[in-house]
Amino acid sequence: MAASISGYTFSSVCYHSANTNSDHEGFLLGEVRQEETLSISDSHIGSSEFVSVIEVHNHEPCAQLFSFYDYAGNVNEENLNRILKDRRKNVIGWYRFRRNTQQQMSFREQVIHKQLTNILGIPDLVFLLFSFISTANSSTHALEYVLFRPNRNYNQRISLSIPNLGNTSQQEYKVSSVPNTSKNYAGVIKEHGNEFFDKDGVMKDIRAIFQVYSALQERVQAVCCEVDQSERVREKIQEEVNKLKEEIALRKRNRAEEERRLQEAAAVPLPDNSALPDSSQSSPTQVVLSGPSVEPSVERPVNSSSPPIYSTTLPPDSPSAILLPRPQAVGSPGHPSPSLGLGNGDGSSSDSLNRQATGQEDGDDEDSSEYENLVSEQLQPPSLTETVTLGRPATLWPDGDAHSPPGS
Amino acid sequence: MNSLSPEVALSRISPELRPLLCSVVCNGRVGLDSSSCLRITDLKSGCTSLMPGPCCDRFKLHIPYAGETLKWDIIFNAKDPELPPDFIFGEDADFLPEPSELPHLVSWDTGKPECLLQLVKELLQQYHQYQCQRLRDSSRLLFEYGSLLEDPNYGRSMEIYAGRKNSWTGEFSARFLLKLPVDFSNIPVYLLKDTALDPGEDVALLSVSFEDDEATQVFPKLYLSPSIEHALGGSSALHIPAFPSGGCLIDYVPQVCQLLTNKVQYVIQGYHKRREYIAAFLSHFGMGVVEYDAVGFTKLTLLLMWKDFCFLVHVDLPLYFPRDQPTLTFQSIYHFTSSGQLYSQVQKSYPYSPRWDGNEMAKRAKAYFKSFIPQFQEGAFATGKL
């Protein structure tokens, strides 16, 4: 159980008490609410804790001692009602102020408390004890207060907090849930409230903000739906593209197979260097191949200028000009061995295949590499000198013709 | 904390409350141990510091009970002196007396000075009941209490303090304080005449502390009023037996009581025997008696003559006469020692029997004098100087 008392109530009680020349007592008004705290930690999935919180909103001082009980501590209910009037239902406890005494409930206080518990019908009636201790020379005075829960075992003591009694610059300023019972305040709010509150008592600004918030939420929801739809379309298109790529790759493989057969059958010697196609006709890095035709990817850029014609026949080769090995991982099926004399024609060897097509997507690379691997496998066994470097696959124009990528 | 003297306490208390406090500090004796008055400490005020004094209206009252000292806070209000006080029972937070059984609280009358003292006594009665109920935690100690309660000699004059259970060992302890029904009225007045030592009632209290509820560690102690203790020969003259292992109070307490009673009887008998002894010597030696203790009959001085040799005989009778033999001191009236004192010889061993009556003792003493004097005279002449 926890308890809190508003600063103004606490100071009011202290003021009343300190200004009396004897012990002082009265009743505490407020409410008891239940708080549930859910906590999630690494060790627990989640745990909830119920705490009863006593909130003291106000107090009702007694004019004098023994105002509602007699010498034996018997409570007079009639006098009690006269003191509390219509606030009896708000009573949550009572308090006592005594100077220079121990912080312990006295004999009479315990007797009275038991009776108040029964008469008021509050099982957890609390008792707040104020003790004012002064030193012998009156130089130091201390106000101590303890909140008791006498109906529990061992006169349980509850910690009493005063919200915002501290350095609020370093801790959060807490807004109390104490209702404002001031009549003046209620009157002013009633008079000027229409400018700020709507008919339900809610501040207008809050409602407007809430409307904005709701609109934003709706918009976000709509955008989510749009994104979801577009993502689905994209996914579908991606599937189609993948299918087409597979088809292209299959066709390429078939064509390559076919050309290989033709080649074997014809056994046509490879052309010399002078018979190499003009660079103006094709990409310097590419060699027109005979045999497997290259099925370019549909993602090829369409703005290539005068793409070279894709030839199905192998041009007369110059080993050094033609044999441009593709960069492949060591151990890959189509990896050309540098000792086989492959080179660029000037004695240097190139183990990289220029890939300078713009706008080419990664999928193309994969497709190209599959194609390249396949082609290099086919080319290697017959003759090392006949190894043909694979150029970039020609772009398949929308009209169906194959063109090699420009400027490559 | 230093207790306040009655005068200081009364000077600081609020004037309206002074009569009540006077009754407590001056005449307040409660419980079995009524040898000293109730003490007051921590006199404080419930008024603001601006209130001019004296305005103290709350204090701590120290009450002897069962060998302990209860410290109860008593809270008045100087502004409303007609109102009854409130109490805080110190460490006994569980003690909650029944208000309806406190007549002096229900009908509090600040006009009656003894009202507060009577209220404290009523509270103590309920406190005693509260402590007795706490004995229920131990069947052994409850049996001890019950057996004593049944005995009218002890049941009505008993205080019990049930100690806190030891939270570590779970042990329960208790102390029984009993007023022993010993009659001290026949003790010679001269032994009790020093009222400065004992202004109160003559009482003997037996305190028995049980350090565990199985009665394996039991520590008895006898407390006597100062005059009784003096009359019986001081604390060293009294040794009570240890609590027997496996024994119980209903057997032990009467045993101690009998021991004390016997001691008292010895003292009383001794007085009467001494008086008889002196009377007999007066009768036998007549004009030879120089002086004697006519109050306690503890001393007698004789001036005797044997063959023109005069000598003094000082007779000192002990407290436990006739059990203990009187001491005879022979003193020459002629001879001095080197230190300037009269030559004397002390005789503690001479024919004596405690069963003789006074007359017989006087006769035997006379015979002894006759037999010893020649030897004494010889010694005086040989050693002493004229």
Q: What is the pLDDT of residues A165-200, one digit of tens each?
A: 766 666 666 665 566 667 787 788 788 888 887 777
| CA triple B53-B56-B60, angle to 5 deg | 155
**Mean model confidence pLDDT for chain B:** 86
A288 found inside a domain: no
C-alpha A318, offset from chain centre: 62
A90 in the same domain as A198: no
A133 in the same domain as A35: yes
A83 in the same domain as A17: yes
pLDDT of A319 > 50? The answer is no
State which of A228, A245, A263 marks the end of a domain: A263
d(CA B185, CA A163) in angstroms, rounded, equals 72
Average pLDDT over residues B183-188: 83
A219 in the same domain as A154: no
Residue A100, phi-psi category: left (phi > 0), alpha (psi -120 to 50), beta (remainder): left
pLDDT of A380 > 90? The answer is no
State which of A263, A291, A307 marks the end of a domain: A263
Quick check: bond before B318 cis, omega within 30?
A: no
A196 in the same domain as A82: no
Predicted TM-score (pTM) above 0.80: no
A121 in the same domain as A239: no
Helices (H) and strands (E) in chain A, counts: 7, 10
Q: What per-residue confidence (pLDDT) applies to A289?
A: 37
A36 in the same domain as A126: yes
pLDDT of A344 > 50? The answer is no
- The nearest alpha carbon in chain A to B57 belongs to A22
A198 found inside a domain: yes
Tokens matching residue B284: 């036998």
Task: Grade residue A95 by pLDDT with cuts at 50, 70 and 90.
Answer: very high
Which residue's entry shows tokens 């035997």? B364
pLDDT digits (tens, 9 = 90+) for B65-99: 988 889 999 999 999 999 999 999 988 888 999 99
Closest CA relative to residue B97, chosen from B62, B59, B58, B124: B124
A324 found inside a domain: no
In this structure, of A196-210, B89-103, B183-197, B362-376, the range with the lowest mean pLDDT score is B183-197
Number of other residues whose CB lies within 10 A of the CB of residue A356: 14
pLDDT of A359 > 50? The answer is no
Q: What per-residue confidence (pLDDT) applies to B86?
A: 96
Residues 259-288 of A with CB under 8 A from B: none
| More confident: A408 or A58 | A58
Domains and CATH numbers, chain B: 1-134 (no CATH), 274-383 (3.10.110)
A385 found inside a domain: no
Task: Grade residue A400 by pLDDT with cuts at 50, 70 and 90.
Answer: very low
A125 in the same domain as A72: yes
A233 found inside a domain: yes
The answer to whether A96 faces chain B, any CB pair under 8 Å, is: no
Contacts of A21 in chain B (CB under 8 A): 47-48, 51, 78-79
In this structure, of A294-303, B33-42, B81-90, B122-131, the range with the lowest mean pLDDT score is A294-303
The answer to whether A18 faces chain B, any CB pair under 8 Å, is: yes
The answer to whether A103 faces chain B, any CB pair under 8 Å, is: no
Which residue's entry shows tokens 């001491």? B327
Strand order through the sheet with B39-44: B39-44, B58-65, B68-75, B86-88
Contacts of A18 in chain B (CB under 8 A): 48
At B214, is the secondary structure helix, strand, or coil? coil
A207 in the same domain as A133: no
Residue B201 backbone phi and psi in degrees, to 5: -70, 145
Q: What per-residue confidence (pLDDT) applies to B193?
A: 62
Which residue's entry shows tokens 């014609």? A309
Task: Grade residue B165 by pLDDT with cuts at 50, 70 and 90.
Answer: low
Task: Grade residue B109 by pLDDT with cuts at 50, 70 and 90.
Answer: very high
Interchain proximity B96–A110, CB inside 8 Å: yes
Domain span holding position A14: 2-161
CATH of the domain at A99: 3.40.140.10
In this structure, of A114-128, A227-241, A346-360, B308-322, the range with the lowest mean pLDDT score is A346-360
Q: How many domains does chain A have?
A: 2
pLDDT digits (tens, 9 = 90+) for A99-153: 999 899 999 999 999 999 999 999 889 999 999 888 878 788 889 999 998 876 6
A226 in the same domain as A95: no
Contacts of B77 in chain A (CB under 8 A): 22-23, 65
Task: Grade residue A82 by pLDDT with cuts at 50, 70 and 90.
Answer: very high
A208 found inside a domain: yes
pLDDT digits (tens, 9 = 90+) for B303-321: 999 888 899 999 999 878 8
A303 found inside a domain: no
Closest CA relative to residue B186, chosen from B270, B278, B297: B270
| More confident: B191 or B78 | B78
pLDDT of A321 > 50? The answer is no
| More confident: A29 or A302 | A29
Q: Please name the member of B75, B88, B105 whose beta carbon is closest to the beta carbon of A71.
A: B105
Q: What percent of chain A has pLDDT over 90?
A: 29
A356 found inside a domain: no
Instruction: Identify the DSSP state of A399.
Output: T
Instruction: Identify the DSSP state of A43.
Output: S
pLDDT digits (tens, 9 = 90+) for A259-288: 999 999 987 665 544 444 444 444 444 433
pLDDT of A231 > 90? The answer is yes
pLDDT of B291 > 90? The answer is yes
A149 in the same domain as A249: no
A205 in the same domain as A242: yes
Tokens matching residue A281: 């006709």
